Amino acid sequence: MLLNLPTAPIMFFGGKGGVGKTTVANATALKLSPHASTLVVSTDPAHNVGHLWDKKVGDSPTRVRDGIDILELDPARATEEHLKQAGDTMRRMMPEHLHKEVTKHLNLSRQSPGTHEAAMLERIATIIEDYEDTYDHIIFDTAPSGHTSRLMALPELMSAWTDGLLERRAKSEKFSDLVRGLTPTGKDTTVTTAEDPVDRRNQELRSILLKRRRRFERLRTVLTDATACQFHIVLTAERLPVLETDEFYQELHSNGVHVGALIVNRRSPADQGEFLASRRKYEDEALADLHRRLPDLEVIEIPLRPNDVGSPQALEAIADYLAQ
Ligand SMILES: Nc1ncnc2c1ncn2[C@@H]1O[C@H](COP(=O)(O)OP(=O)(O)O)[C@@H](O)[C@H]1O
Ligand SMILES: [Mg+2]
């Protein structure tokens, strides 16, 4: 099935709150479902995917219909897991008497800016690792824009961070080798045996850090490969959302993320009275501005529906605008 919007194994839907990200992300899965299997992952803490499918959904895939599984990412759990892993690694690096400090530091970082994003990113990376072979598509229905664009810049930062740790680690290993060589009973430091607890700890630590770095590097590769990943921006045809979409696009673009389509949702009808006709005209002006700012992007329009679209049946109507 050829959709109007460019498809890829991994797709993200982003945009402001309430514009229709969840609706369009799930309508896309619906449109793909006769031919391909999709996992829809909600990363917006204000989850409503479960409501949409009228199913109780959790932090692992739940089947909502043939070809569509849903997962609502639990941000609190992601943060706890992330901090636990970070804590385990840090405790391995620090001498015993500093372990209390590590715990204190981690308790503080639970509240600090960036922790939540890093945790979400790690979870997104593991979801891709765990499920990319199970499903034809993984669709991420993301939180409002600011949050998501920061997220897309993170893999680079996280790789740099693990690199820094690895480097520091290498230096301190060299240093401890040296110290060991200097002690009167010093062993021959040219031979490293796996039985040496310090060497073993170092090896273990290096492998944890390397694994983490590889995870972020791989995510970075996926996010910046247009054949692997497409990011679609959902918006309404209004002046401010258009300006924000332009900014959002530039941010994603500068992070190397490929924007597939702009999906303009809730377009007012021109033939339903003066009020809506006047709105339609205002929207047309906003869209002219959008085309001027981002002339090369695919724009897909979805009309404002007269009824609730928060049900599987209603979703079909939305899905029809995604492929013709
Ligand atoms: N084209 C549309 N016509 C009418 N209602 C819509 C349309 N698109 C979305 N909605 C409704 O708008 C609300 C917000 O949509 P949602 O997809 O949850 O937005 P987001 O995920 O971006 O916060 C929902 O109640 C949804 O049913
Ligand atoms: Mg949503």
65-107 per-position pLDDT tens digit: 999 999 999 888 888 888 888 888 878 777 888 888 888 888 8
pLDDT score of 222 more than 80: yes
209 and 314 in a single domain? The answer is yes
Amino acid 157: pLDDT: 74
Nearest of 257, 255, 246 to residue 291 by alpha carbon: 246
319 lines ligand 1 (CB under 6 A): no
Q: Closest ligand 1 atom to the C-alpha of 15?
A: 22
Question: Which pLDDT score, from 0 to 100, does residue 323 have?
Answer: 87
Answer whether 314 contacts ligand 1 (Cβ < 6 A): no
Residue 147: predicted pLDDT: 65
Answer whether residue 245 is part of any domain. yes
> Does 99 lie in the same domain as 59?
no
Q: Is 309 in the pocket of ligand 1 (CB under 6 A)?
A: yes
Q: How far is the CA of 108 from the centre of ligand 2 (A)?
A: 30
Give the 3-state secondary structure of residue 285: helix
Q: How far apart, in whole angstroms, are the C-alpha atoms of residue 244 and residue 14?
A: 12
State the pLDDT at residue 204: 77
The residue among 193 and 323 whose pLDDT is bigger is: 323
Write down the pLDDT at residue 192: 52
Residue 47, pLDDT score: 79
- Are 85 and 166 contained in the same domain? no
Give the position, in ligand 1's atom list, of the atom nearest the Cα of 304.
3
215 within domain boundaries:
yes
Do 139 and 191 lie in one domain? The reply is yes
Residue nearest atom 15 in ligand 1 by C-alpha distance: 20
Atom of ligand 1 nearest to the CA of 19: 22
Q: Are residues 215 and 276 in the same domain?
A: yes
pLDDT at 121: 86
208: CA distance to ligand 1 center in Å? 42
Do 68 and 84 have their domain in common?
A: no
At 305 the pLDDT is: 94
**Confidence grade of residue 199 (pLDDT, cut at 50, 70, 90):** confident
Domain for residue 286, yes or no? yes
Q: Quick one: 180 and 289 in the same domain?
A: yes
Average pLDDT for 106-126: 83
Listed residues 90, 109, 128: the one ending a domain: 109
Is residue 15 left, alpha or beta, with left meaning phi > 0 and alpha meaning psi from -120 to 50? Answer: left
**Residues across the chain:** 324
The predicted structure's pLDDT at residue 168: 78
Indicate which ligand has the atom closest to the C-alpha of 320: 1
Identify the pLDDT of residue 238: 97
Q: Which atom of ligand 1 is nearest to the CA of 314?
A: 27
85 and 36 share one domain: no
Interval between CA 7 and ligand 1 midpoint (Å): 21
Q: Are residues 254 and 198 in the same domain?
A: yes
Query: Which ligand lies nearest the alpha carbon of 16?
Result: 1
Q: How far is the CA of 115 from the centre of ligand 1 (A)?
A: 29
Say if 299 falls within a structural domain: yes
Residues 121 and 36 occupy one common structural domain? yes
Per-residue pLDDT for 148 more than 60?
yes
Cβ(31)–Cβ(3) below 8 Å: yes
- Residue whose entry in the numeric block shows the structure tokens 């981690």: 106
On whether residue 4 sits in a domain, the answer given is: no
* 189 pLDDT higher than 70: no
Q: Report the relative pairing of strands 259-267 and 229-236 from DSSP bridges.
A: parallel
- Whether the pLDDT of residue 175 is over 90: the answer is no
Residue 179, phi then psi, degrees to nearest 5: -60, -45
Residue 2 in domain: no
Q: Does residue 5 lie within any of the structural domains?
A: no
Residue nearest to atom 23 of ligand 1 (CA): 18
Domain housing 105:
78-109
- H or E element at residue 261: strand 259-267
- Of 309, 315, 316, the residue with max ligand 1 atoms within 8 A of its CB, to mutate for a pocket test, comes to 309
Residue 32 to residue 26: CA distance in whole angstroms: 10
Whether 244 and 104 map to the same domain: the answer is no
As a whole number, mean pLDDT of residues 257-286 equals 97
Has residue 141 been placed in a domain?
A: yes
Residue 6 Cβ contacting ligand 1 at under 6 Å:
no
Separation of CA 199 and ligand 1 centre (Å): 56
Helices (H), 110-230: 115-131, 145-182, 197-223
Question: Is residue 239's pLDDT more than 70?
Answer: yes
310 close to ligand 1 (CB < 6 Angstrom): yes
E strand map for 43-151? 62-65, 68-72, 137-141
Number of other CB atoms surrounding residue 210 within 10 Å: 12
Q: Is 43 in the pocket of ligand 1 (CB under 6 A)?
A: no
CATH at 254: 3.40.50.300
Query: What is the count of structural domains for the chain?
Result: 2
- Are 131 and 271 contained in the same domain? yes
Q: Is 20 in the pocket of ligand 1 (CB under 6 A)?
A: yes
